[in-house]
C-alpha cells in the first residue's frame, strides 16, 4: 500500500473568468522507502500539492490517500489525528517555537498526542541523537545554526514514527553543504522505511530523490527517474 496516493487530483480556486487551476488532474503515488521530488517554476502548483498531501487543504476533484485513508472521508478530529500520527512537515524557515528548547520543540507533537512529558522528552532526545544533534538538546533555536535548526525541524517532523515527511524547500535557507546534510537525513528516513515528498527549485537537491516530478501550470509535464548507477558503472567510462 502506498504511503501517499494522489488519484486524479485537481484544486481549483474561484470560478468563471477568475478561476485559477492550481492543480489539474495530478496522480502520484509514493511508496514506503521512496523519496519523490517535485520541481517546477513558481506558481506551478508545488506547494498546493504538498498542502493536499498533508490534508491542510482538500481537492476539488480526485482523492488523496495517506496510509490508505481517503482524507475526504475523515472528520476534523480524524484528520488531525492522522496528521499527528502519519505526516510530518519541514519548511524553509524551520518554524521552531523560539521559547522552547530543541528537545521541547521535538517532543511537543508527542505531548499534544497525550504521551507523558518524561517519555516524550526521552523520545525527543533519542530522535535528536539520531540526527547527530546529541548534546544540543537544551539549546534554544536562537542558539542553533540554520542547519541545526533544520535538523530539529526534521526530528520534530518524524518523531512518533510518522512515515510521511513533506518538505517545502527545506534547503532554501541553507548553504550547499548544510543542504546536503538535510538531504542525507531525508534519504536516510526513506531508506529506513519512511516516505517523503520534497518540493524544491534546486536540481542539485532534487537529484537525491528516487523520482522527480515536474509541474507546470498545475499539471505534471514530465518525470525523471535515473537507472541504478551500479549498472552504469559496470559499463562506465573513466574520465
The residue within the footprint of other proteins, chosen from 36, 197, 212, 215 (CB under 8 A), is: 212
Site for other proteins in 28-57 (CB under 8 A): 41
Grid look-up 523560539 returns 98
Residue 221 interacts with other proteins (CB under 8 A): yes or no: yes
Q: CB of 171: closest distance to other proteins in angstroms?
A: 13
Q: Which CB sits closer to other proteins, 75 or 228?
A: 228
Q: CB of 228: closest distance to other proteins in angstroms?
A: 7
Counted residue by residue, the chain has a size of 239
Binding residues for other proteins, how many (CB under 8 A)? 30
Residue 130 interacts with other proteins (CB under 8 A): yes or no: no
Residue 206 interacts with other proteins (CB under 8 A): yes or no: yes
Residue 224 interacts with other proteins (CB under 8 A): yes or no: yes
Q: Which stretch binds other proteins (CB under 8 A): 24-32, 59-67, 80-88, 214-222?
A: 214-222
The residue within the footprint of other proteins, chosen from 166, 209, 215, 218 (CB under 8 A), is: 209
Closest alpha carbon to 27 in 51, 42, 8, 44: 8
Site string for other proteins, 182-201 (x = CB under 8 A): --x--x--------------
Q: Give the footprint of other proteins on this chain (CB under 8 A).
A: 41, 184, 187, 202-204, 206-209, 212, 214, 216-217, 219, 221-229, 232-233, 236-239
Amino acid at each position: 500500500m502506498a504511503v501517499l496516493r494522489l488519484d486524479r487530483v485537481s484544486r481549483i480556486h474561484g470560478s468563471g473568468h477568475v478561476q485559477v487551476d492550481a492543480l489539474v488532474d495530478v496522480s502520484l503515488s509514493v511508496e514506503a522507502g521512496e523519496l519523490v521530488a517535485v520541481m517546477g517554476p513558481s506558481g506551478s502548483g508545488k506547494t498546493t500539492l504538498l498542502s493536499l498531501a498533508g490534508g491542510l487543504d482538500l481537492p476539488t476533484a480526485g482523492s488523496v490517500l495517506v496510509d490508505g485513508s481517503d482524507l475526504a472521508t475523515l472528520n476534523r478530529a480524524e484528520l488531525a489525528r492522522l496528521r499527528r500520527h502519519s505526516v510530518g512537515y519541514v519548511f524553509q524557515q524551520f518554524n521552531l517555537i523560539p521559547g522552547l528548547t530543541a528537545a521541547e520543540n521535538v517532543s511537543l507533537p508527542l505531548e499534544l498526542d497525550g504521551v507523558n512529558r518524561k517519555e516524550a522528552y526521552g523520545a525527543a532526545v533519542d530522535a535528536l541523537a539520531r540526527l547527530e544533534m546529541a548534546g544540543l538538546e537544551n539549546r534554544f533555536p536562537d542558539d542553533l545554526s540554520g542547519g541545526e535548526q533544520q535538523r530539529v525541524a526534521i526530528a520534530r517532523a518524524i518523531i512518533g514514527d510518522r512515515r510521511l515527511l513533506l518538505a517545502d524547500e527545506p534547503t532554501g535557507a541553507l548553504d550547499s553543504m548544510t543542504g546536503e546534510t538535510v538531504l542525507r537525513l531525508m534519504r536516510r528516513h526513506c531508506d529506513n522505511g519512511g516516505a517523503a515528498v520534497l518540493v524544491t527549485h534546486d536540481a542539485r537537491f532534487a537529484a537525491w530523490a528516487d523520482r522527480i516530478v515536474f509541474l507546470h501550470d498545475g499539471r505534471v509535464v514530465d518525470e525523471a527517474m535515473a537507472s541504478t548507477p551500479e549498472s552504469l558503472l559496470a559499463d562506465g567510462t573513466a574520465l
